[in-house]
Amino acid sequence: MIAFAGISPELWVLGYDLLVIATLLVLALRRRETSTLYGWALAIVFLPFLGMALFFLIGLNRVPRRLQRRRRHAEVFASRMPEKSPRAVGLEERRAATGWRSLPLLAEHLGAPPMREGNAIEFFDDGREVFRRIFQDIANAKHHIHLEKYIFRSDHLGVALIDLLIERCRAGVEVRVLIDALGALGTSKQLRRLREAGGRTARFLPLFAGLNRFAPNLRNHRKIVICDGKLGFVGGLNVGDEYLGRRFRDRAWYDAHLRIEGPAVADLQRVFVEDWDFAYGEMLSEPAFFPERGDLGHERLQIVASGPDLNQHANRSLYFTAASLAREHLRIASPYVVPDAGTRDALVHAAMRGVSVTLLTQGWPPDKRLPYRCARFYFEELLAAGVRIYEYLPGMMHAKMLVADLAWASVGTSNLDPRSFRLNFEVDATSDSPSFAARVAARFDAALREAREIDTASFASRPLRHRLGERFAHLFAPLL
């Protein structure tokens, strides 16, 4: 046999086999669902070199060690918000809680701060109204402005926001902007303008930052705005004209966003400063960033952050538990519906128990076709179990909401998919307050009136080409 580069073909084959075995061992040591492990194993074995390359590029999902720096803040914030603080629901009450009141305790065990009382909350589902209020609050900020987004476009909205931030910098306000590195592509010029005016910017997990921080598949999907540590915004809106209905085929953009005043803002601030410390290397623990705030409203609120740096995925655990505890109604809004096996079983079993399970998602045309087709792969099983599925018609449905039995609700950045539950850094505002749940349910029901229910019989008779497309898209489910 002819040797290649002085090495016999037998040695090449042996070397390749050893490389495959080593890669499979690395795969076996990862904590993954069995179906995901099988998928990667098949790719590694039957796609020579390509499968291994893809696994180490987007499948390994190694959490950079520098993420451990985020832990430095835990003791600082624990000392600022002691267990007996009147703003936190009492420890004895939390430990004695049952039913829906036990979910906040579960979230605490998964790393969240306690449920906070005394918050005032405004609910928005129109991007224009949200940004009108954000611009107003930024213009009135006196000490600092913190902005964290997954996507920041250099379009009309993005430039206008940068202009306003530059103005506040020149007025002596501290401005910090943190954007996911993937979502920040194309914003270099605008961010440079902000830095030249005195603002500080950072990119979360840069795509080309060396092997010690190389994690292209782990993205920061959080959307946070904080002004003076006194008020904050959280929800599904990034910065871009499409969120105002200008770019997405000139169609309306439906989303869910909260404006919060009260003790829970400090917990939202905590999420930002931990991310900022990791990305920029600046620890913000001065009292000015966490001003004392009395009761400003009557809502209970718990800020739940989740991400691949945590051992437990809090958002998935809360969604799963909410579906398992539901007895009457379960409302879920998510533009991307790619539930893992456990979450899917929880939804199916809830419907089989007689719970009214309603799922609101985006319709045609979608913003991303692959997740849309993949979602429809799961619809047949969900519909057969009795889950009612609606597609939003006026435009893009981008809201992330869950309401269970009008007793517990969540609004934030988490989608019903593996990316949000396993790969992304997310943040959600949750509450066991019936009044908050009722407000979220009212918004959900209003959107539902503008949606079309998917008929089980019609869906079962969809064209073969659609079925084939759904099966193909399903192959990529672990990455969606």
How would you write the pLDDT of the chain (480 residues) with one tens digit per residue? 445 455 666 665 566 556 666 655 655 555 555 556 556 666 666 666 666 666 656 555 555 555 555 555 555 555 554 444 546 665 556 555 568 889 999 999 999 999 999 999 999 999 999 999 999 999 999 999 999 999 999 999 999 999 999 999 999 999 999 999 998 888 899 999 999 999 999 999 887 765 556 667 789 999 999 999 999 999 999 999 999 987 666 678 999 999 999 999 999 999 999 999 989 989 998 999 999 888 899 999 999 999 987 767 899 999 999 999 999 999 999 999 999 999 999 999 999 999 999 999 999 888 889 999 999 999 999 999 999 999 999 999 999 999 999 999 999 999 999 999 988 999 999 999 999 999 999 999 999 999 999 999 888 889 899 888 888 888 777 766
Distance CA 268, CA 190 (A): 26
Residue tagged active-site, from 405, 417, 428, 432: 405
Residue 288's CB is within 10 A of a number of other CB atoms, namely 11
Helix 341-352 with 369-385: angle, nearest 10 deg: 40
Residues 81, 142 within the same domain: yes
Q: Are 121 and 297 in contact (CB under 8 A)?
A: yes
Residues 32, 18 within the same domain: yes
Residues 159, 177 within the same domain: yes
Residue tagged active-site, from 144, 146, 149, 223: 223
Residues 392, 325 within the same domain: yes
Residues 20, 77 within the same domain: no
Residue 51 belongs to some domain of the structure: yes
Residue tagged active-site, from 125, 180, 228, 417: 228
Residues 55, 69 within the same domain: no
Residue tagged active-site, from 221, 230, 257, 313: 221
Residues 369, 293 within the same domain: no
Domain boundary among the residues 301, 323, 343 is at 301
Task: Output the CA–CA distances (angstroms, integers) from residue 208 to 151, 168, 211, 359, 454, in the order listed.
Answer: 18, 31, 8, 38, 43
Residue tagged 């589902």 (tokens): 125
Residues 222, 158 within the same domain: yes
Active-site residue flag, 405: yes
Residues 19, 82 within the same domain: no
Residue 306 belongs to some domain of the structure: no
Q: What angle do CA 45, 18, 49 make, to 5 degrees?
A: 45
Q: Are 64 and 212 in contact (CB under 8 A)?
A: yes
User: Per the structure, how many domains does the chain have?
Assistant: 3
Active-site residue flag, 250: no
Q: Are 121 and 127 in contact (CB under 8 A)?
A: no
Q: Are 417 and 387 in contact (CB under 8 A)?
A: no
Distance CA 169, CA 191 (A): 13
Active-site residue flag, 309: no
Residue tagged active-site, from 275, 398, 417, 432: 398
Residues 360, 415 within the same domain: yes
Active-site residue flag, 223: yes
Closest Cα to residue 55, out of 25, 11, 87, 34? 25
Residues 40, 81 within the same domain: no
Residue range(s) defining the domain that contains residue 283: 65-97+115-301
Residues 50, 77 within the same domain: no
Active-site residue flag, 368: no
Q: Are 111 and 310 in contact (CB under 8 A)?
A: yes
Q: What is the pTM of this model?
A: 0.86
Active-site residue flag, 428: no
